[in-house]
């Protein structure tokens, strides 16, 4: 088996932006790349040591967009990619309307997971009834989030990983474990199986989370995921 080739950090961030959102014909964000099609954030910036990936919502005023562009261009991101002056960006965006929500967190890529042994099984329409006891709300995820892998105990899915958002070149993981079954490494099992399947398809397996989601970051650390940057968006 050939070793898995990983693009540069900046290329990974470009791929992630394409996975996260849908865009109009001029490259402005429209909606989140999920079946719900909720509105994309007003401003997204993916920060890496090699540069930044910046995207703007289609409704954002041109004057605000231009001011944000100047700010990002002049800020010392490359020297200190983990230092972000959010106050200035909030101030700029608030000239148009108040900022309701800010998200910030690390972005990771999976190393080669192909050939790794795991107890996770694939969930499809053929065995979807296994998710009912703990994850009855995730039926649509099994339909739209393929591939889906799960750990099953007593004929019930207790941990699952699916594709939160997906494109032809990459997919981002969505991990869920039932509360009574956490702390048993099931999250590692299902995410590893999911990533291996994505990589077998020739796509990039991505993973991101918020800075205050310590459990999710612990999974990333245990799986030796590579952090290639940081996501920041404002709604």
- Considering the domain boundaries, does residue 95 fall inside one? yes
What are the angstrom distances between the C-alpha of 179 and each of 160, 182, 188?
12, 6, 15
Domain extent at residue 68: 9-107
* 81/125 same-domain check: no
Cβ atoms of 186 and 176 closer than 8 Å: no
The CATH number for 144's domain is 3.40.630.30
Q: Is 73 exposed, middle or buried (0-12, 13-18, 19+ CB in 10 A)?
A: exposed
Q: Is the model's pTM score more than 0.85?
A: yes
Residue 40 and residue 97: Cα distance in Å, rounded? Answer: 16
DSSP H stretches of helix in the chain? 9-20, 62-74, 86-94, 132-135, 139-144, 186-200, 214-222
Inside any domain, residue 162: yes
Cis peptide before 147 (omega within 30 of 0): yes
- Whether 90 and 153 map to the same domain: the answer is no
Sequential pLDDT tens for the chain (235 residues): 457 788 999 999 999 999 999 999 999 999 999 988 899 999 999 999 888 999 999 999 999 999 999 988 887 654 444 456 788 899 999 999 999 999 999 999 999 999 888 889 999 999 999 999 999 888 877 888 999 999 999 999 999 999 999 999 999 999 999 999 998 999 999 999 999 999 999 999 999 999 999 888 999 999 999 999 999 999 9
If asked whether residues 61 and 37 sit together in one domain, one would say: yes
- Tokens 């990589």 map to which residue? 199
Does one domain contain both 167 and 198? yes
Q: How many domains does the chain have?
A: 2
């Amino acid at each position: 088996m050939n070793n898995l080739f990983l693009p540069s950090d900046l290329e990974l961030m470009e791929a992630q932006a394409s996975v996260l959102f849908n865009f109009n014909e001029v490259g402005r964000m429209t909606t989140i790349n999920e079946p719900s099609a909720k509105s994309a954030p007003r401003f997204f910036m993916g920060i890496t040591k090699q540069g930044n990936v910046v995207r703007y919502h289609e409704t954002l005023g041109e004057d605000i967009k231009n001011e944000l562009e100047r700010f990002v261009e002049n800020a010392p991101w490359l020297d200190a990619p983990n230092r972000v002056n959010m106050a200035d960006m909030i101030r700029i965006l608030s000239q148009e309307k108040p900022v309701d929500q800010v998200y910030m967190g690390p972005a990771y890529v999976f190393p080669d997971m192909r050939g790794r042994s795991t107890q996770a099984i694939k969930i499809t329409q053929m065995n979807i009834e296994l998710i009912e006891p703990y994850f009855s709300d995730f039926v649509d995820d099994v339909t739209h989030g393929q591939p889906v892998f799960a750990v099953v105990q007593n004929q019930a899915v207790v941990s699952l990983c699916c594709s939160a958002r997906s494109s032809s070149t990459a997919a981002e993981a969505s991990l869920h474990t039932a509360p009574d079954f956490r702390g048993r490494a099931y999250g590692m099992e299902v995410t590893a199986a999911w990533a291996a399947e994505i990589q077998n398809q020739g796509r990039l397996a991505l993973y991101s989370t918020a800075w205050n989601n310590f459990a999710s970051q612990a999974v990333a650390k245990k799986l030796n995921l590579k952090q290639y940057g940081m996501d920041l968006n404002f709604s």
